Structures are given as structure tokens and as C-alpha cells.
Amino acid sequence: MRKLWSAIALITSVPGSIYGGVATPTEAAGVGAFGALGVALLYRSLNFKKLIEIARRTVELTGFMKRQIRTVIFSFQPKTGNPCLPIPSTARVSV
């Protein structure tokens, strides 16, 4: 029963902080991550080896997502030779 209450508290704290106007969605994600860390420490199910594995997998996933997003963004860039340059405008306005 104790595990159920900690899960309910964790689940309600994230949307509750958003709808309550206390946190933005990004900050609420931090609240959820901090709460999950607190629950793991409370039940003593987290050790240093698991923490290192979590950090390694987080870095892997973040790198993968950045690569996917970059691929999508650059696939829609104009083919000007340099993907960072804007599309040259053909309409010039004289001042």
C-alpha cells in the first residue's frame, strides 16, 4: 500500500504543478525526475552502479534524439551549398 501512495504522489505532482501554475512543463519534468529519485532512495533500490547505468543510457538517448532532430531539420533546409545560410531573396526592396 505504501508503494501505491508514492506512485500516486509522483504521478499527481507533475501535472499538479503544471495546472497549479507553480511550474512550467519543463520544470514539472524536473519535479518528476527529482520525485522519482526520492522514491528510489526511499525504497533503497538505487545504488551507485545503477545510477551510472542510468546516466549512460540518458546520454545515449539524448544523443540519439539530437541526431534524429538534426536530420529532420536539415532535410528541409534549402540546398544553397551551406545549410546554415538563408534562402536568397529574389525580391529586393529599394529604400
Q: 68 or 81, which is more confident? A: 68
Per-residue pLDDT of 16-62, as tens digits, reads 999 999 999 999 999 999 999 888 888 888 899 999 999 999 999 99
Q: 33 or 75, which is more confident? A: 33
Half-sphere exposure (CA, 13 Å, Cβ side) for 47?
1
Q: Are the CB atoms for 25 and 47 separated by under 8 Å?
A: no
C-alpha cell at 86: 538563408
pLDDT at residue 50, as a whole number: 92
Q: How confident is the model at residue 7 (pLDDT cuts 50, 70, 90)?
A: confident
Which amino acid, one-letter code, is at 14? V
| pTM score over 0.75 | no
